[in-house]
Amino acid sequence: MSSTLDKPRFEYRGLTVPYIALWEHEHITHPRLNFVRAPGGVARLGYVGEKPRDRDRRGVLYIRENSAQGRGIPDFPRMHSVRQREAQRRLLCQVCGVSARKMHQGRTLFLMGSAEGRRPIREGERSTAPPLCPPCALESASSCRRLRQGLAAAWVEKAIAWGVSGIPYHPDTIQALTEDRVEVAYDDPHIRFTLAYYQVNELRGVSPVSMEELRAFV
Ligand SMILES: [Zn+2]
């Protein structure tokens, strides 16, 4: 059984720093992009001097980012690519890093917030935000100023790996097609020419839950 001792827990100015948060000494490096041949011979985006860890299990190319968790100052709203992907894939709590899978009647808790307020989490909604365990969800809700403005929580039966959030490149020129990140599905042909930042999951079997109900649950 998992315990909270599995992952180091960091605090900054009295606040728990989420497992997926980016730290000051974590930086993206930008190896030169190239066309490479995937197994099977199809062309895809790659790095000059590529390493096996530059791709996920599906062969999607990811940004290269060092790991220096706990060093310097945390950048709360920004996510570390590798830890985000790990949390999305294994359904780890985005705050404590321990499994958040199936914590209530086989379902997993998701919590989303926006300063502008937000609607309830919808069936089939896609997100780069990994789940939370209920205690961390309540702690986040009470400590995060941004979340307090507009919160939506839901129990979710399935979080399916849908695709990535990243920058697609032109397959002939290796020029970025967008300035900002866009979502690209795994079954979209552009995925082979996309530099991914984060994994996107699709939420199925969504049942909204109020913070009061969550408090009673914990
Ligand atoms: Zn947690």
**Tens-digit pLDDT profile for residues 9-44:** 899 998 899 999 999 999 999 999 999 888 888 899
Centre of ligand 1 to C-alpha 116, Å, is: 25
Rounded to an integer, the average pLDDT of 97-117 is 89
CA distances from 41 to 54, 57, 63 (A): 19, 18, 23
pLDDT digits (tens, 9 = 90+) for 191-202: 999 999 999 999
- In this model, does residue 148 exceed pLDDT 70? no
The whole-angstrom separation of Cα 79 and Cα 197 is: 9
Centre of ligand 1 to C-alpha 45, Å, is: 35
Overall domain count for the chain: 1
Centre of ligand 1 to C-alpha 141, Å, is: 12
Q: Do residues 124 and 94 lie in contact, with contact meaning Cβ atoms separated by under 8 Å? A: no
Pairing of strands 43-47, 10-12: unpaired
The whole-angstrom separation of Cα 65 and Cα 62 is: 9
Centre of ligand 1 to C-alpha 198, Å, is: 20
- In this model, does residue 1 exceed pLDDT 60? no
Domain that holds residue 136: 4-217
pLDDT digits (tens, 9 = 90+) for 179-192: 999 999 999 999 99
Centre of ligand 1 to C-alpha 139, Å, is: 9
Centre of ligand 1 to C-alpha 145, Å, is: 18
Q: Do residues 194 and 45 lie in contact, with contact meaning Cβ atoms separated by under 8 Å? A: yes
Which residue did the predictor score with more confidence, 74 or 4?
Answer: 74
Please state the pTM of the whole predicted model: 0.92
The whole-angstrom separation of Cα 15 and Cα 139 is: 9
The whole-angstrom separation of Cα 137 and Cα 211 is: 9
